[in-house]
């Protein structure tokens, strides 16, 4: 298992995914009404919506595709202008425990041969962004306020992000995170509990493993020449599956993983709704569905049903019919 001294980051949680979408309102409705995740914040200036399962400020961020630059609170351009024009992954995100650790990573990036794309202050969190070998964006962040709900309430519909210089100010003192509030949407067919991982199709599995192990601080729990299951430091539950591409595979995000309440209606009625694909396992029933932009979402009723073997059949979700 890798330690903090041998990796650039030492994350404590697979925290959220941010997606570029064709229509932010349609996607917010889907993640709320189908997946059971509560809308908590809108940022109209960048056509963004955020949804949370109650433990953190967001599990899913949604940004509407645009040919225009994304302008932050401070008036600076926040995107590369080569991304965000078509639906797909904006970034996946890992939370670290302290801002001091994030600043150390910023200062030591060169030692790991990793180039940082940008550093942003979001008002309730500070973040570093970088790209993996397949140009998937990855965020590492620390929360900077305890009351993120209060921050959202005070800043609803306002721009909140601006450039951040990690060397300019002392780290924010550590604080105790607020208790989780159960915010599931009662009538949703899926009762999501939290986002917990992702499957990425890679053009070079070895290169991707080096990045996520030496850079992101994850460690392998099961791996072969085709698939690597990686976990957070000091845990044995996978949060990321890296899969070597085969003919016809699209490089990049394949699916996002969520833990879901096993009492979710869709799991109890054998999913007569054709949007859902159910797969029985020894630990429980996995459920797969596409979001409005074609992204596959995998729902696991407990950690015992998470991918456990380095097999394509276990980590490349069976695709529901495209809508």
Q: With contact defined as beta carbons under 8 Å apart, do 295 and 24 qualify?
A: no
pLDDT > 70? residue 80? no
The domain spans of the chain are 7-163, 192-315
List the one residue out of 277, 220, 233, 185 whose CA is nearest residue 4. 233
Strand partners, 128: 119, 140
Closest CA to 229 of 215, 249, 213, 250: 213
The fold for domain 192-315 equals: 2,3-Dihydroxybiphenyl 1,2-Dioxygenase; domain 1 (3.10.180)
User: 7-163 with 192-315: one CATH topology?
Assistant: yes
Pairing type for strands 88-95 and 238-244 reads unpaired
What are the φ/ψ torsions at residue 60 (nearest 5 degrees)?
Answer: -130, 130
Interval 193-204: pLDDT, tens: 999 999 999 999
Interval 34-61: pLDDT, tens: 999 999 999 999 999 999 999 899 999 9
pLDDT of residue 206: 98
The kind and range of the H/E element at 25 are helix 24-33
Burial class (CB in 10 A: 0-12, 13-18, 19+), 69: middle
> Residue 38: beta bridge partners?
52
**Tell me, what's the pLDDT at 39?**
96
The whole-model pTM stands at: 0.94
Q: If you average pLDDT over every residue of the chain, what do you get?
A: 91
Whether the per-residue pLDDT at 6 is higher than 60: the answer is: yes
Candidate CATH numbers 3.40.50.300, 3.40.50.150, 3.40.50.2000, 3.10.180.10; the one for domain 7-163: 3.10.180.10
Task: Measure Cα distances from 17 to 20, 139, 307, 312 in Å.
Answer: 10, 9, 19, 22
Report yes or no: 238 and 304 within 8 Å, Cβ to Cβ: no
């Amino acid at each position: 298992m890798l330690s903090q001294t041998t990796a650039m980051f030492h994350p404590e949680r697979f925290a959220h995914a941010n997606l570029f979408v064709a229509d932010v309102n349609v996607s917010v409705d889907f993640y709320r009404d189908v997946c059971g995740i509560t809308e908590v914040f809108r940022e109209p200036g960048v056509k963004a919506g955020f949804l949370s399962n109650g433990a953190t400020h967001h599990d899913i961020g949604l940004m509407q595709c645009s040919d225009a630059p994304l302008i932050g609170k401070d008036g600076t351009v926040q995107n590369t202008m080569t991304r965000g024009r078509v639906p797909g992954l904006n970034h996946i995100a890992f939370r670290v425990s302290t801002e001091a650790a994030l600043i150390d990573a910023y200062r030591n990036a060169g030692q790991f041969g990793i180039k940082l794309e940008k550093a942003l202050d979001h008002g309730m969190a500070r973040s570093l962004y970088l790209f993996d070998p397949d140009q998937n964006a990855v965020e590492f962040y620390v929360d900077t306020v305890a009351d993120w709900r209060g921050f959202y309430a005070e800043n609803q519909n306002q721009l909140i992000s601006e450039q951040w210089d990690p060397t300019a100010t002392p780290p924010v003192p550590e604080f105790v995170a607020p208790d989780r509030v159960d915010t599931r949407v009662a009538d949703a067919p899926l009762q999501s509990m939290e986002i917990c991982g992702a499957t990425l199709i890679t053009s070079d599995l070895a290169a991707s493993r080096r990045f996520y192990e030496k850079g992101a601080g994850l460690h392998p729990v099961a791996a072969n020449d085709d698939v690597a299951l990686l976990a957070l430091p000091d845990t044995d539950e996978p949060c990321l599956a890296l899969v070597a591409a085969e003919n016809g595979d699209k490089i990049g995000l394949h699916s996002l993983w969520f833990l879901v309440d096993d009492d979710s209606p869709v799991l109890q009625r054998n999913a007569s709704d054709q949007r859902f694909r159910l797969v029985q396992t020894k630990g429980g029933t996995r459920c797969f569905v596409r979001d409005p932009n074609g992204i596959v979402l995998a729902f696991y009723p407990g950690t015992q049903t998470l991918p456990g073997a380095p097999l394509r059949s276990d980590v490349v979700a069976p695709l529901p019919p495209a809508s």
